[in-house]
Structure 1
Amino acid sequence: MPTMTASPISARRRRLSALIRSSGFLAVCIMVTNIATYGFQIIAARILGPSQYGGVASMMSLLLVVGVVQLGMQATASRRVTGTPGQERAIEQTVLRATYRAAIVVGVVMLVASPLVWRVLRLDSIYPALLVAVCAVPLTIMGGQAGVLQGERRWLGLAMVYLALGIPRLVVTTAAMWIRPTEGAAMAGVALAQFAPAIVGWWVLRRRTPPVGAVGPVKPVVVEMLQGSIALLGFFALSNVDILIARNVLSDHVSGLYAGGLILTKAVLFLPQFVVIIAFPSMSAESSRRSALLRSLALVGGLGACAIAGSWLLSWLAMIFIGGPDYAEIQDLLWVFAILGMVLSVLQLLVYSVLARRSRLSAYFLWIAVVAVLVLGATQTTVAGLVWTVLSIDAALAAVLLSVTFWRLSQTSQRS
């Protein structure tokens, strides 16, 4: 009898263990993190109001741009682990050594640049700009840790890292803004919470040590990371430069309205983020590259279409999440911001496909688009004018990158 009762319990435990270690569980955790990030933006918009929230939104956008080093390291680690099975522990140690050095460099650079950040973003004081430099260090460290876990398909450990990225930021930053509703308090909460995922990543990887003499040189990892970061920097510059333009060509109130619309854009952009993370190891393998990209594009496009339809049909409901009545002037434009988010999510997937193939041509197209947004965006004087300008340029870029990507994949399949 004990054996008969123990067996179903054991089976349930095995199924539960398999579930939480699966890519599906990772997808759920990433969506929870994105919801928490979205919740942070909603709460910040409500507590701070358009004028103060515009500054916080611009700093968070800057932090995303700074995070290209983190994402470059993550992509490099994942691709290297996927491409060299059996050498995971040695690659892990090499990547982490490079990660810690990169984190120090990025932190120092942002510290030196903090007076410029203060002036360009028109912040109330230099204090929030200094906190952006603090955030950059654990953010970069997280990149190497997440890349190792991603390449090894250790979905549970990676899920824990992503949960630690989103939930502490929501809780800690909300508390900070509740105590003191200012730009500085918001960034203090973000900086404190940013250490959580790095600590979790260290804990997950703490017992893995490589064989003696197996740790490789750091320089090739850094070179590959820098090459990948150029493409990622182009994407994040493209997806965040519009708020910087808005802060400098529009009034505080109008730029705050534009920042409110970008809450929806970022929500649609990051909604299918789990697709990129799960698909990247498959896109790094030549045999599964094309099929993985096609499936991912279909899923990203489907999720984006649902978000666009929802923001158009239920714009009144979306306004609750954007920030309430203070942002009513942009209600009729929410569906446009949602389209922008879908186009950016497609671009993000294409950029990671480029990184998986270690191609460099597409990075030039990204930077051409950034220049176009800067030049044409600076001539706009309204929220509608700016968002339509950015959307037109991003859509044209997506069409070009889709054509180039599938042409390259067809050339590769013909050679093989």
Structure 2
Amino acid sequence: MSEPSSARRALSGGGRVAVATSAMNVATYGFTIVAARAVGPSEYGAFAACLSLLIVVQVGALGLQATAARRIAVDRGNVAAIERAILALAGKVSLAVGLLLLLLVPAIDALLNLDSLVTAAVVAVAAVPLTLAGGQAGILQGERRWGALAVFYLAQGLPRLLVGTSLVLWRPSATSALLGVAIGFLFPLVVGWWVLRDRRTPDVVPPEHSGHSMLVESAHNAQVLFAYFALSSVDIVIARQVLDDHDAGLYAAGLIMAKVMLFLPQFVVVVAFPDMASTESRQRALVRSLLAIGVLGCLAVVAAKVLSPVAMFFVGGADFGEVEDLLWVFAALGTVLAMLQLQVYAVLARQARRSVLLVWAALVVLVVLGLRVESVAALVTVVVAVDAVLLTVLTLASLRLASRAAPAATRAPG
């Protein structure tokens, strides 16, 4: 396939994935709003705590997805074998995660202060389809089946909104809301099963694609992603420690803008990841994706500065007016985090082992420096600075390694 044709295909696929992930995020956010209004503050607090735990559990699914996508992208001759191995591994890992969480139900109930073993048990049940879906998504991503992956992402968001809303209106409680989320996780599984139902059965699975090797890689991927999620989330914990309740609330409101800018270009990472796994296209995919996220982020930063009264409507309204002058900084933070997320996936794509140490080091530096600040402006400035330095270091490392790998791939025989 020629480069222009490949670029047009990626652009078309990116558009479909962009629409699907946007709809998924809007539906997820919409259900969160419905649940908050329907169940009340106390029950919503329990529901939000359970969702936070599921986000942590999700790193396992994302680790499996990255493993499947990377291996399929770089070894097109063994796609059937990789599919078979990753689906088998995803099934085992999902059952193991679910069983472990079931055994920890009393601990989850006490840790999250749920006062309901049933609610804690629903968390364990929800973790099974959530983890299993990671393997399916990785196959579709690695094969660049963007239309099917777009439907997969739509199935992750829209059913949650419809089913979850019905349940919380019928019986307003944290358990009902969480049950809606768990049932919603089943729909993408159905989509994945349908589009993968005709997959070929390989005669033998090559040793390099054994279940053990995939488990090791998935565990590494999950650890890298966990480090990134910790880095991108620790600032709100720091805010609760160094700021009073009022200023911590202002910081949390500003983070809404940052999270919007983090999730808005999510489709760029999804589409670029298979290309970043290939030595021939790694540098081109990385540069183009960084530029795309950067341009989108710059436009958002300018809009947040010029149209700050409009932006305030989406981050809490007049009660949080003191943070209005800083919204453009939070938009910049979200842009840096989005570009940093791309770089983390670039690390996964080339299976670097030492680069993750930089992420953990940045987390330590951020905590040390963040605990010394005394204002919202100072904290967000420190976070942007630390994340920007990490982004610069990872970008330079990625481009240097990509430039070295490309000539070697060009000289390779065959």
Shift of 1:76: 0.8
Which position in structure 1 is the counterpart of 2:256? 263
Alignment length, in residue pairs? 399
TM-score, normalised to structure 2, is: 0.83
Amino acid at match of 1:342: T
Could you tell me the TM-score, scaled by structure 1's length? Answer: 0.83
2:335 pairs with one of 325, 330, 342: 342
Residue 199 (structure 2) pairs with residue 208 (structure 1): yes
Counterparts of residues 297-308 of structure 1 (less than 5 Å): 297-308=290-301
Q: Which residue matches 2:213?
A: 220
1:391 to 376, 380, 384: 384
CA contact (8 A) 2:13 2:271 kept: no
User: Which residue is 2:189 aligned to?
Assistant: 198
2:404 aligned with 1:411: yes
**Which deviates the most, 244-253 or 217-226?**
244-253
Q: Percent identity?
A: 48
**Amino acid aligned to 2:231:** L
Residues 91-119 of structure 1: CA distance to partner in whole angstroms, max 9, x if unpaired? 11110000111112223344455555556
Deviation at 1:385, TM superposition (A): 4.7
Amino acid corresponding to residue 203 of structure 1 in structure 2: W
**Distance across 2 between alignment mates of 1:367 and 1:174:** 39
- 2:42 maps to 1:64: no
The answer to whether residue 299 in structure 2 is matched with residue 287 in structure 1 is: no
Aligned to 2:412: none
Q: Would you say the 8 A contact 1:272–1:345 is kept in 2?
A: yes
Mapped to 1, the partners of 2:116 and 2:156 lie a distance apart of: 26
Q: Show the counterpart of 1:276.
A: 269
Q: Supply the distance in 2 between the matched residues of 1:187 and 1:329 (Cα, whole angstroms).
A: 34
- 1:157 paired with 2:148, answer yes
Distance 2:41 2:325 in 1: 18
Match of 1:208, SS state, is: coil
**Paired residues of 2:231 and 2:362 also in contact (CA < 8 A):** yes
SS in 2 for 1:358: coil
Name the stretch that deviates more: 394-403 or 252-261: 252-261
AA of the residue aligned to 1:293:
L
Unmatched 5+ stretches in structure 2: 1-8, 410-414
Change (3 A) 1:315 1:184: farther
Q: Write the distance in 2 (CA, Å) between the matches of 1:252 and 1:115.
A: 31
Task: Name the counterpart of 2:65.
Answer: 74
The question of 1:84 aligning with 2:82 is answered no
* 2:325 pairs with 1:332: yes
**Within 1, Cα distance between the matches of 2:245 and 2:177?**
18
The equivalent position to 2:22 in structure 1, one of 4, 28, 31, is: 31
Shift in CA distance, 378/397, structure 1 to aligned 2, threshold 3 Å: same
> Superposition RMSD on alpha carbons, in Å?
3.4
Which stretch shifts more, 370-379 or 398-407? 370-379
CA distance in 2, matches of 1:369, 1:195: 37
Work out whether residues 21 and 156 of structure 1, in 8 Å CA contact, stay in contact via their aligned partners in 2.
no
> Following the alignment from structure 1 to structure 2, what is the Cα–Cα distance between the partners of residues 111 and 254?
38
* Residues in 1 aligned to 2:81 and 2:288: alpha-carbon distance in whole angstroms: 32
| Cα distance between partner residues in 2 of 1:122 and 1:242 | 23
